[in-house]
Each structure stands twice: as C-alpha cells, then as structure tokens.
A and B are shown apart, each in its own frame.
Chain A
Amino acid sequence: MNGAMNLPNKIWIFIDHFQARALPASWETLGAAKFLANALNSSITALVFGAQVDELVQEAFAYGADEVLLADDPVLADYRPEPYAALFSRLAREACPEVILFPTTTRGRELAAMSAVDLKTGVLPDANSLEVQGNQVVVIRPLYAGKVFSRLVCKSRPQIITVGRRAFAPPDFDKSRSGTPRRIDAGILESDISTKVIRLIPAESSASLVDAAVIVSGGRGISNNPRLTPPPGLDEKGAEIWRAQQGFQMLAGLAQVLNGAVGASRAAVDGGYIPYPHQVGQTGKIVSPDLYIACGISGAIQHQAGMRNSKMIIAINQDPEAPIFKLARFGVVGDLYQVVPTLTEAFRKKLGK
C-alpha cells in the first residue's frame, strides 16, 4: 500500500476522464497535488466518478494517490455538471479538505465553479504555479491571456483551484502502488437529473492543442502559394481557402513527424481556412508547448498572448520585419511553402521516421 495513510487527507483531486480514459491534465494535477502534499504534510485523496471506471482507480494509485473515493454508478455514465457537483459537494462537506484541485478542463472548470458555490468558498482557475505560505496556498495565474499575472489567495476553506494545462509534470507511474478504493453511494436517481445527453459528435482531430508538446501553426500567409492551381469552378475566395487548406495539410505533415498538433492564428480562422478549435491566442486557446513553430504568422499581440509561454518558438516568415521573430529563438526568412517541406524531410531523416 502506501506510507502516507497516517497523514491527514487535506488535499483532494478530481480525476477528469472520458469513458474511463483520464485526460492528461488529471495526472498533471496529481503532480501539483504531490507538490502541495509535501508542503502541507498531507496525503492525497483522488475522486473518481463515472460508470465502469475501475481501471482509473488503479491508475490513480499508481500515479501517487493515497486514497481513492469511487462513485461508480450508471447514473454517472454521462457527465452532467449538476449531479457531479452535487455529489462532489456532499463528499467535501463531510470530509472538509483544505485544498481541492481540479484539472483545467471543460468539466473541471465548471465543477470547480459549482462546488465553490455549494461550499460557499472561492475558486482560483488556471493556476500556472503554486506556492505555500503556512497553511495558505498562493496561486499564480494569467490575466489578459498571459499579458500579466496575478498572485491570489482564497481566504475561506476549502481552497478550490484548477491547475493549468502543462503547468505541472505528471508524477512517475509506479505500478507497484495499488490500493482498494472507498466506494461511495452516488445516491442520485436519473429522474432527479433534468438534463439529458443525447449523443456525442466526435471531434475530427484527436490531438489536443492545450496538451500538445509540439504545435505547428499557420497564419494568413498560408494562403499565398502562387504555385498552386486551384481546381476549376472556384471563385476568388474559394480559391484562397483551397490554397490555405493545402497549406494546412502541409503543416499537418510536419506536425505528424513531431507528434504535434496543428494551430492557427485568428486571421487564418477568420479567413475560413481552418476550424475555430485550432485558434491560438487571446480569443482562442492559450498554449505552452515545448516547441511552437509559427509559419506565416506575423505575431499580432493577441496571438503572442496565446503562445508566448512556449518553451521554444521557431518563426518562418517571408517578412524579416514580422514581430514574431522577436519572440523566436530561431528564425528563417523565406517562403514557407519551400521551407516547411524541406524541414519536414530533415526532421524525418534525423528522427528516423
């Protein structure tokens, strides 16, 4: 089992998953929980809600949870915020944890918000980093899409925090750690829940921008390849979109070699070149990959706000004066339609793919 069970269980973490597959953010959040557990001399309790989610319980132990509360009930098969929040708040009221961590996911954010209402406390979303001062957790979080940051505390208890994507590394997976969950009766009837999930229309691309270690992004410049001849019958706008889509396919090729995801600037999304879920920036996704390759992106302030925390930025642009070059560790001035395929081939060779 584990040696931490004699410590108080002051830290709770909600494991977000879809059909028993945890989102990577859940284990990153467990990494944050381990940091707090050390500082607060506490053990970690993980909460797993769902239907047929036994395998997640063992994963949670292996990643470092000391205790797992499991509510396994068909009524919890489809995630809905109301019953999940009601159950979560009921358990938190009984156990009075000091700190509750949620991964910053769609579900995690709204459950944190609702539990804070139920428990009459505050919520601090998108923690980039955490500090501990006595019994108080200090959260550093971005504002204005990361143009500035704030250090915040929640004076009431529990302190509810959502942990930003890629802000903490997941703990090592230790197969030798295992345990028995404490089973919780959900105590919820389907007839008590007013909302119904009809179906899911699956996302076309599986690579999640916010979780990606490598992102290859395209901007307005992606539609400017004069060497491509669009199929007949397209008007000017149609031809522009067609050219841009060929360009994004080329970027997808590079992303694939690097196990990365494809991003876009707002200009590219507004131009109709690529769907909105790919947009990086102030009104899109805020990303912090290890490597961000900006192709044909000039670097408007709104775009910079969404990607400036990337560990390494590469810029490929025809305009040597483009502001993006100021953020870039390495830059190439040139035609992206020539540079990107050559770069893809060079990576393929070097990485043996």
Chain B
Amino acid sequence: MKIIVCAKQVPDSAARVTVENGQVTWHDAPLVINPWDEYAVEAALVQKESQGGDVIAISIGSESAKEALKHALAMGCSEAVLVSDPALNAFDHQFTARILAAAIQKIGEADLVVMGRQAIDDDMGITTAQVARLLGWPALTLISLISSIDPIARKIQVERATEEGRQVVESPLPAVISVVKDIGEPRYPSFMGIRKAQKALIPTWSLADLGLTPEEPVVTWLEALNPTQRKVINEMITGSSLQEIAERLVDKILAEGAL
C-alpha cells in the first residue's frame, strides 16, 4: 500500500486568536500539525502496519511547515514532502486542491490519500472533496472507521459519520478519504521516531516542479473581523433554597424570551 497523508500547520487549538490592525494574529501561540491531520496520520499508519507499504506526508507552506511534517515522520511516516514557493503568498482553496492533486500525481501510484476532516484555522472542510474531484477518484469524507481494505481487489469499505448515522460505503481504490475523531486516538511520537524525524531530509517542491503556475485567487478577503463584542450582563442567581434559585432562574430565562 502506498498511502499519502496531507497535513497542514496551524496555530494550536488553545491559541487566543484576534484581529489586530486588520490582520489575524494568534499572538505567541505555537504552530502545530493540524489536530485533525494527526488522526489522518494515525489512520494511515494503522493501515500501513496491517498491509505493509509506505506512508508519505505532504504539506503546503513556508519552511516552518516542515515542523508539522516532522511530527508526522516522528509518528511513523516513511517520507515527507513540502510544497513551498515564493509565489504562494495569497492563494485560495481551489489552488490548494490543485497543488495537492498535482503533488499526489507526482508522487504517483497512491492507493489511498488520507486527510483530516478540516483544518482548525480556516475550518473550510472542502479540500478532500475537491482533491478527489480533480483526481477523478471517489471521495469518502468524514470516515469514522475503515472496515476493510483489499489492496489486491482494490477495494475499501468504510463507515461515514453522517447526520442520520453511520453510512457503510464500499468504493474502489484509489480513493481520497477524510477522517473524524472516532477513527482512533493519534499515537505519541516515540523517542526513536523523534530522533529519526530530526535527521530526515524533507525535499521541497516548487510550483514549477508540479507543472503549475501561480493563479490569481478567485476567493478574496475583504477584511478580517473580531467577533462583535456582545455585552453580556452577568447575573448570579442566589436564593435561600435550591427551589427558590431554580424558580428564579426559570422566570428570568422566560422573561428574556430565550425559549
């Protein structure tokens, strides 16, 4: 099996994120591998362990994004590639999907591409479907379980987390999948894994290496905004008995028309 995992570097989920002078800033929060992508790496490694083969991690970003790839390597990925290009200062999701699709084709002969359900910075959640569409492969999004993979018959069966429950779907390989939390807790990198990742050489591909030329983004930002500060007047409800407190609270909730 040849499995490709796409991983993005994002500010830590505990980051305080605000807009200062029109720019989004995460202050001094560390940059980490997108938490959802850790689940993707885990899902890929579990398949590699049962089927054999390689897991290759790819990311788009500046030189610093190599840290996210090193985390994937430390978890157990075999190789990593960074796509980086000075022309990539403003690009939209359509182009992100084209870059990933081109990189997946350049790596070649992938059986499976695994992604996290979304990146916790922009929360778009569309890349899996777009990359699959560009490659012409089936998209299996929001997978909670890989029930079986048969690399010989080139088939995969999965459970997808949908509004109505878990949808059991069978699809040919290659396919592009995204995973949710139920897929299994990501492992911690081992000490050996961290040492190996530190020494790993991570090649950098430019847009030209992928046969792409920069494109004007079609989706553009007008501005970034802080959430409207809602003036919440905090009021603690007290009383001489629990019953009195509860009745006061109910009256106040109903009086403000919350129900």
Contacts and interface: CB of A to CB of B under 8 A. Distances in A.
A194 B227 CA distance: 44
Interface string A105-128: 111011011101110111111100
Contact of A326 (B93, B172, B234, B246): B234
A113 B133 contact: yes
A199 B166 CA distance: 9
A350 interface: yes
Contacts of A118: 133
A246 interface: no
B112 interface: no
5 contacts: A114-B139, A144-B121, A200-B165, A283-B36, A283-B120
Contacts of A290: 258-259
B14 A302 contact: yes
Given A152-B222, A346-B247, A329 B166 contact: no
Interface in A133-153: 138, 140, 142-153
Interface residues of A, number: 91
B253 A330 contact: yes
A343 B247 CA distance: 7
Nearest to A147: B17
Nearest to A89: B133
Interface stretch (B40-48, B103-111, B124-132, B203-211): B124-132
Interface stretch (A30-38, A41-49, A184-192, A333-341): A333-341
Given A152-B219, A153-B222, A300-B14, 13 more contacts: A81-B141, A110-B126, A114-B129, A122-B217, A125-B124, A125-B125, A149-B227, A194-B172, A197-B168, A200-B165, A201-B168, A203-B166, A329-B256
Interface string B64-98: 00000000000000000000000000001110010
A145 B236 contact: no
B220 interface: yes
Interface centre among A81, A325, A338 (most CB of B within 10 A): A81
Contact of A23 (B26, B124, B163): B163
B165 A202 contact: yes
Given A106-B142, A109-B126, A346-B243, A332 B236 contact: yes
Interface in A284-315: 286, 290-291, 300-302, 308-309, 311-314
Given A105-B163, A145-B123, A110 B170 contact: no
B17 A151 contact: no
Interface in B135-181: 138-142, 157, 159-172, 180-181
B168 A314 contact: no
B237 A331 contact: yes
A283 B181 contact: yes
Contacts of B218: 121-122, 154-156
Contacts of A18: 163-164
A85 B139 CA distance: 11
A208 B162 CA distance: 11
Given A208-B163, A327-B232, A346-B243, A152 B221 contact: yes
Nearest to A338: B242
Given A114-B130, A150-B221, A201-B159, A283 B35 contact: yes
Interface centre among A113, A326, A338 (most CB of B within 10 A): A113
A222 B235 CA distance: 23
Contacts of A120: 94
B130 A116 contact: yes
Given A291-B259, A345-B246, A122 B164 contact: no
8 closest Cβ contacts across the A-B interface?
A113-B126, A113-B129, A122-B219, A346-B246, A203-B165, A147-B17, A110-B129, A117-B133
Nearest to B243: A342
A328 interface: yes
Contact of B234 (A112, A142, A331, A346): A331
A258 interface: yes
A251 interface: no
B213 interface: no
B223 interface: yes
A347 interface: yes
Contacts of A332: 236-237, 245, 249
Contacts of A329: 232-235, 256
Interface in B182-224: 182, 217-224
Given A109-B126, A110-B141, A200-B167, A283 B219 contact: no
Contacts of B258: 290-291, 311-312
Contact of B236 (A121, A203, A283, A333): A333
Contacts of B16: 147, 301
A334 B242 CA distance: 9
A342 B134 CA distance: 56
B250 A350 contact: yes
Nearest to A328: B234
Interface string A221-244: 000000000000000000000000
Given A82-B138, A148-B224, A150-B223, A203 B164 contact: yes
A196 interface: yes
A138 B225 CA distance: 14
A151 B225 contact: yes
